Structures are given as C-alpha cells and as structure tokens.
Amino acid sequence: MLPLNRREFLAASAVAVCLGRAGEAADVSFKGRIRKAVKFHMVQDEDLSVQQKFELLKELGYDGTEIRTQSKDDKETFKAASEATGLPIHGVINSSGPDIRSAVDLSKYYGGSSVLVVAGRVNEKMSYDDNWKEWETRIRDAAPYAHDQGIRLLVENVWNNFLLSPLEMRAFIDEIDHEAVGVYFDVGNVVRYGWPEQWIRILGNRIVKLDIKEYSRDLQRNAGLWKGFNVQIGDGDCGWPAVRTALDEIGFEGWATAEVPGGGRERLEDIAKRMDNVLALTSD
C-alpha cells in the first residue's frame, strides 16, 4: 500500500477522530440528564383511580407524566394525585388548541414547565403560508404571557404537512424570536422523511423536550404509511446510537416522554425498559 501524503494523512486522522468521538458519545449515559415520562392517557387500566395510576407510574420508575388539556378528570384530581405521590406533571398537551393562555395557566397550576403546541395543519383549505403566518402570530402573542408564568411554549414536529424540514422548523422558531418558545422534538415522527440526528444537530438548544416513539421504513414501504409506527421502541429505524450522539453534542438535558400505544402494568413496564435502553438511562 502506498504511503499517505500529508493532506491524506490529515484527512484520515480527522475522520478517525470524528468516528472515535461519535462512538464515545453514542455510549454516553444519560442517567440523571434525561427524565423519563409517559403521556397520562397511556395508562389504560380503568380499575385504577387517578392517584393509583400515578402510583403505578412511580413504581415502574417513571419520573413524571404529561396531561392533555382536555381530560375527563378534573384538574384538582390530577394535582392532588401528583402531590400525594410526588410524581410531577411536567407539562400539558394542548396540540393545536387555539386557547394557549388557558393551557399555560393549567400547566402552571400543575407545577409544569411547558405547553406542547402543534402549529396548525396545512391542507386544501389552509395554505402553507397562511398557516405559517397564523401560528407564528398566535404563538408570538402568547409568548410574553407564558414567559411571565414560567412556562415554555414548545412546538412539536408532527404529521400536519407543516415544518417538514429541520431548517424550516429552526426558521419558524427563530422568527418568533422569544425565549419562551422552543421545540418539542418527536424522534419517531421524522423517520418517514429524514434522520433524527440531523434534526437534533440543526435545531440544537431550541430542543427543550423529547417525545419518544419508533418508526419502521420497511413497514412504511410494505404495509402503508401509518403502519410504520407499528413497531416497538428500539426495533425500528430511529437509529438510537446516532440520536444519543446528537443529543450529547447539543448538551440535551430534560424530559423525554413516550408517546406510543399504552396499556396496563405489563405494557407500561415494557415501555419503561425500552426507554431505558434507547436513551441509555441505566448505564453508569
């Protein structure tokens, strides 16, 4: 084999260093840096009271939960259960509900830190540019109030035909330009048309919280678009080692909440173990 010239040697050395760093970062522990949660509506045992559901989540090792703004149980019941068990409600899910201020009030009432926002939906009746203007204005108008209450408005990447690339999502957040506004990054939702680690690096510290789910490109191709979600966390194409590397590079610390089909004790226990595995929450 011919010897490398100086330029080739430097290039090869740089690649080796990068690969080494990536390998180290991929194996880094997120124990103590990521707090594990599930959406409360995933606890699907109707024989349990709200407080018993909180107790179950705590017993299974979850650090908290997140609650929809619209729920069959009243807010006093949720708050009492949280206080009795010591399991926090870290935020509320408002989706594309237009009343962001009320969602902010509810999150603060629970002792949460965020409102999950879905920035509308683009379709034949709502143009892309009109949706951009409407939701940019709506979120910007609510941001000062959220800030005063100590609540972050976090825009999630979902299948709403909007914010289809990380560059676009970054631009949307940056145009709003308010410290109360950030990103609720859903790892599995981008696999259909991208790679989560690329989104993470581009969005950087705009990412405040994570939604955890899985997606299979093979199921997408062979069974249908939405069937891609029919795979367990860790068994699809999210590329979790690369995700961990990217999260470590941006210095992520915060909540990661499962958003997958729920169930009873056995199902929730399995989800907890899978989250521990893909997010390296148990290694030292």
Distance of CA 155 to the CA centre of its chain: 10
pLDDT per residue over 33-55, tens digit each? 999 999 999 999 999 999 999 99
Maximum Cα–Cα distance across the chain: 74
pLDDT at 1: 41
254 and 260 Cβ atoms separated by less than 8 Å: no
66 and 37 Cβ atoms separated by less than 8 Å: yes
CB-count exposure of residue 196 (10 Å: 0-12, 13-18, 19+): buried
Cα→Cα distances 115→12, 69, 76, Å = 46, 9, 18
pLDDT confidence band for 5 (50 / 70 / 90): very low
Place of tokens 């990661």: 256
Average pLDDT, integer, range 128-141: 98
pLDDT at 185: 98
Using alpha carbons, select from 201, 189, 279, 186 the residue that is nearest to residue 234: 279
pTM of the model: 0.90
pLDDT at 218: 97
CA distance linking residue 247 with residue 11, whole number of Å: 26
Parse the chain into domains and list their residue ranges. 6-278
Instruction: Reply yes or no on whether the pLDDT at 97 is more than 70.
Output: yes
pLDDT at 17: 38
Instruction: Reply yes or no on whether the pLDDT at 208 is more than 80.
Output: yes
Instruction: Reply yes or no on whether the pLDDT at 101 is more than 60.
Output: yes
pLDDT at 27: 73
pLDDT per residue over 13-38, tens digit each? 444 334 434 334 447 899 999 999 99
3.40.1000.10, 3.20.20.150, 3.40.1210.10, 3.30.43.10: which CATH number matches 6-278?
3.20.20.150
CA distance linking residue 116 with residue 127, whole number of Å: 23
6 or 129, greater pLDDT: 129
238 and 215 Cβ atoms separated by less than 8 Å: yes
| 67: β partners | 92
